Chains A and B, each alone.
Chain A
Amino acid sequence: MNVGTAFEIALAVLVLGLGVWTIAARETSAAVVGFVGYGLLIALVWVRLDAVDVALTEAAIGGGLSGVLMLGAAARLRTTEAQAAAERPGPFTRLSAALLSAMVAGALAGAVLFLPDPPPTLAPAAAENAAATGLGNPVTNVLMAFRAMDTLLEKVVLLLALVGVWSLAPDRFFGGRPGSRHQADPRGALAFVARLLPPIGIVVGAYVFWVSADYPGGAFQGGTILAAMWLLVIMAGLADAPPICRRWLRLVLIAGPAIFLLVGLGGLWLGDAFLAYPPAYAKPIILAIEVAMMLTIAATLGLLMAGAPERSAQP
């Protein structure tokens, strides 16, 4: 057993321990903190699997945004935990659940040990057609060109989720500002970090997006960093969340999917198929879609985190 394998086994055991903690911890907020650590360590697992693009996404979403979202919800739902503890199912249900879960895990483990050899792969096809787009990062190639339809629909799903969240607002607040107004000590550490970090974060977000043409990164990862910076400023009370009825906000929210859709229809009209890019202009077109998408992603994620409107538009 070499050092790499020992490290991988240790990492898997550590991640499993955090997973058990997430399930078994008594308090929800403690479980969420475990989940944040879990997301960060899973990102390391993805690095070991040579999938750095996924690792970046997992760290930003699993460790970052999901954690903050759940922590906020856990704080607001603290009073409901006693009742939930009273509803805990009896030993028979727990034993049956454990048995079922063990059987599912066992079947999956068996599938892992007997995976087909040689393994099926689409990597040669991706390599063969890489020249068509002029991008060096194969994952960006797949996301933006070979399976662009998935990415387009994923943006629509994000938008639909946001519409779903907004539709949960009480009628009198629809069009108002999401969440409660955040207050923080203007001389405190949070306000200080919220002034210091965003300029750096915006550069890092744009960089992560820009290098994704040839290196790991992407519009989604970059947009997540921008959203995090926005949320930091809102949480420190330096700026308020915008009312959801603002026209500029709605325009930013649909910019990404709209440009993507227009390019797709253009491909139908001028080219061979929906989302067919003319090879000579493939790279500029993909970049244009990605710039619009990054802004849309940042705005959508920020607003998904902020939640349903709870105040009128007037501050």
Chain B
Amino acid sequence: MSATTVFGLYAAAAVGLGLYGLIVNPHPLRKMLAFNLLGSGAFLFFGVIARRGAVLAFGSDPVPQALVITGIVVAFSATALAVALVLRLFHATGSATLRASAPETEASGRRGVGGSQA
């Protein structure tokens, strides 16, 4: 078994794991972590394909490598923006839930009606 097969199979597992966490974890920060995990799996696929494409003096095809570097930067920008959005949501509503009915629940909870959620 070569390095590309081992890490390629790992990349598949990482995508599956990230997808599961993205669906199942309700906390937005955990969703971001899961999405980053999914992304790292997708990047590794590129790495595996780059390694397989190694010819001449190159240890790995430089074009996918450059694309992955760009991808990592863009993923970080998106993460920073998402974190700022969640913090703003927390400051505005006092909770970080992503449920559509959350603000009303919050308001009615404060009036003492109770926290029933649609």
Q: Please give the distance in Å from A108's CB to the nearest CB on chain B.
A: 4
* Interchain CB contact (< 8 A) of B12 among A4, A109, A141: A109
Is there a chain B Cβ closer than 8 Å to A253's Cβ? no
Q: Which of the candidate stretches A90-98, A190-198, A261-269, A284-292 sits at the interface with the other chain?
A: A90-98
Q: Which residue of B lies closest to A77 (CB)?
A: B96
Is there a chain B Cβ closer than 8 Å to A168's Cβ? yes
A123 to B60, CA, bound (A): 8
Q: Which residue of B lies closest to A108 (CB)?
A: B12
Is there a chain A Cβ closer than 8 Å to B25's Cβ? yes
Q: How many residues of A sit at the interface, in one of the four size bands?
A: 35 or more
Contact A143 B49 (CB under 8 A): no
Contact B15 A74 (CB under 8 A): no
Q: Please give the distance in Å from B64's CB to the nearest CB on chain A.
A: 8
* Interchain CB contact (< 8 A) of B6 among A12, A22, A58: A12
- 37-71 of chain B: CB within 8 A of chain A: 37, 40, 43-45, 47-63, 65-70
Contact A83 B97 (CB under 8 A): yes
Residues on the A chain within 8 Å of B11, using CB: 108, 112
- 289-315 of chain A: CB within 8 A of chain B: 301, 304-305, 307-308
A315 to B52, CA, bound (A): 55
Is there a chain B Cβ closer than 8 Å to A119's Cβ? yes
Residues on the B chain within 8 Å of A45, using CB: 7, 10, 44, 47
Q: Please give the distance in Å from B82's CB to the nearest CB on chain A.
A: 9
Residues on the B chain within 8 Å of A22, using CB: 21, 33-34, 37
Contact B84 A308 (CB under 8 A): yes
Contact B10 A12 (CB under 8 A): yes
A139 to B58, CA, bound (A): 10
- 188-211 of chain A: CB within 8 A of chain B: none
A101 to B38, CA, bound (A): 11
Contact A94 B19 (CB under 8 A): no
Contact A98 B29 (CB under 8 A): no
Q: Which of the candidate stretches A146-154, A235-243, A244-252, A274-282 sits at the interface with the other chain?
A: A146-154
Contact A35 B3 (CB under 8 A): no
Contact A49 B50 (CB under 8 A): yes
* Interchain CB contact (< 8 A) of B16 among A4, A42, A101: A101
Contact A308 B23 (CB under 8 A): no
Number of A-B contacts (CB under 8 A): 296
Is there a chain A Cβ closer than 8 Å to B1's Cβ? yes
Is there a chain A Cβ closer than 8 Å to B72's Cβ? yes
* Interchain CB contact (< 8 A) of B47 among A54, A80, A104: A54
Residues on the A chain within 8 Å of B87, using CB: 73, 76-77, 168, 307-308
Contact B79 A69 (CB under 8 A): yes
Interface of B is mostly: helix
Q: Which residue of A lies closest to B9 (CB)?
A: A109
0/1 per residue, A117-147, Cβ < 8 Å to B? Answer: 0011111101100000000001101110011
Contact A218 B96 (CB under 8 A): no
Contact A5 B3 (CB under 8 A): yes
Contact A142 B66 (CB under 8 A): yes
Q: Please give the distance in Å from A22's CB to the nearest CB on chain B.
A: 5
* Interchain CB contact (< 8 A) of B67 among A39, A62, A138, A147: A147
Q: Please give the distance in Å from B118's CB to the nearest CB on chain A.
A: 13
Contact A121 B53 (CB under 8 A): yes
Contact B16 A49 (CB under 8 A): no
Is there a chain B Cβ closer than 8 Å to A100's Cβ? yes
Is there a chain A Cβ closer than 8 Å to B108's Cβ? no
Q: Please give the distance in Å from B35's CB to the nearest CB on chain A.
A: 11
- 6 intermolecular pairs with C-beta atoms under 8 Å apart: A22-B37, A62-B40, A80-B27, A119-B52, A139-B66, A304-B77
B contacts, CB < 8 Å to A: 1-21, 23-27, 29-30, 32-34, 36-37, 40, 43-45, 47-63, 65-70, 72-81, 83-88, 90, 95-97, 99
The 3 A-B residue pairs with the shortest CB-CB distance, nearest first, are: A105-B16, A50-B59, A121-B53
